[in-house]
Chain A
């Protein structure tokens, strides 16, 4: 059974204080790993897709990296508007389509001014 574990569950940072969120996974043949951002009371918003170990993607203050067992979402010099819940999901290689996605429970990030 595919599993995704995100840590920490919650993280409070000061504005400008860089940190990383972790997504550990076990899956039978990784097809893709996805990061989403979710604001309170809203639907998730897609951020990144990573396909193979060693791959990195960047967007503004966010950088996502991937190894064979985990992914990190690095946040550099965060601002209060980066406060959100960050979700990680993995897609197994056994079949196509987003019906094969397994989501983690998310990391709730708060950036204090």
Chain B
């Protein structure tokens, strides 16, 4: 079955450590996204990529980094520069351009907790 796989589901980090969240999709979608979800807030866009080897900052990119070396993969690194990294992280994909490009397919999410 086609879909998006995120790992790990739960992750604990000590302050000062970098961590990388994995996101893999087999939907053959060009566009991929990383969102952050906090209680009582709407989803906020961290980074997005519409094509391999290219990505753009979203609304809250500070303290995060990404890469897009393969169409299927879009890993997110939460660096020590991110001041409040505890959150639920969601990876998504969509077709790129045209009608329906706002229809996102989401992974199951990764919950990061800083100890």
Rounded to whole angstroms, the CA-CA distance of A49 and B31 in the bound complex is 18
Residues facing A in B30-44 (CB within 8 A) are 31, 33, 40-44
A residues in contact with B2, CB < 8 Å = none
A14-50 Cβ-contact flags toward B at 8 Å (1 or 0)? 0000000000000000011010100001111110010
Q: Is A11 an interface residue (CB 8 A)?
A: no
Residues facing A in B16-62 (CB within 8 A) are 31, 33, 40-45, 48, 50, 56, 58
Among B40, B45, B92, B102, the one with the most A-chain Cβ atoms within 10 Å of its Cβ is B102
- In the bound complex, do residue B103 and residue A97 qualify as a contact, i.e. CB atoms below 8 Å apart? no
- In the bound complex, do residue B33 and residue A98 qualify as a contact, i.e. CB atoms below 8 Å apart? yes
**Total A-B contacts with CB atoms under 8 angstroms apart:** 77
Binding site for A on B (CB under 8 A): 4, 6, 31, 33, 40-45, 48, 50, 56, 58, 90, 92, 94, 96-109, 111
Rounded to whole angstroms, the CA-CA distance of A46 and B108 in the bound complex is 13
Rounded to whole angstroms, the CA-CA distance of A106 and B58 in the bound complex is 21
> Contacts A89-B102, A91-B102 given: A98-B42 contact, CB under 8 Å?
no
Q: Which of B41, B58, B103 contacts A99 (CB 8 A)?
A: B58
- In the bound complex, do residue A105 and residue B109 qualify as a contact, i.e. CB atoms below 8 Å apart? no
- In the bound complex, do residue A98 and residue B31 qualify as a contact, i.e. CB atoms below 8 Å apart? yes
Rounded to whole angstroms, the CA-CA distance of A44 and B104 in the bound complex is 9
Known interface pairs A43-B6, A99-B33, A99-B45; 4 further A-B residue pairs with C-beta atoms within 8 A, sorted by A's residue number: A32-B100, A43-B4, A49-B102, A49-B103
- In the bound complex, do residue B42 and residue A102 qualify as a contact, i.e. CB atoms below 8 Å apart? yes
- In the bound complex, do residue B102 and residue A43 qualify as a contact, i.e. CB atoms below 8 Å apart? no
Rounded to whole angstroms, the CA-CA distance of A98 and B108 in the bound complex is 18
- Rounded to whole Å, the gap between the CB of A11 and the closest CB of chain B is 16
> Contacts A97-B31, A101-B45, A106-B42 given: A32-B90 contact, CB under 8 Å?
no
B residues in contact with A42, CB < 8 Å = 108-109
- In the bound complex, do residue B108 and residue A43 qualify as a contact, i.e. CB atoms below 8 Å apart? yes
- In the bound complex, do residue B94 and residue A98 qualify as a contact, i.e. CB atoms below 8 Å apart? yes
- In the bound complex, do residue B102 and residue A98 qualify as a contact, i.e. CB atoms below 8 Å apart? yes
- In the bound complex, do residue A87 and residue B102 qualify as a contact, i.e. CB atoms below 8 Å apart? no
- In the bound complex, do residue A46 and residue B103 qualify as a contact, i.e. CB atoms below 8 Å apart? yes
- In the bound complex, do residue A97 and residue B50 qualify as a contact, i.e. CB atoms below 8 Å apart? yes
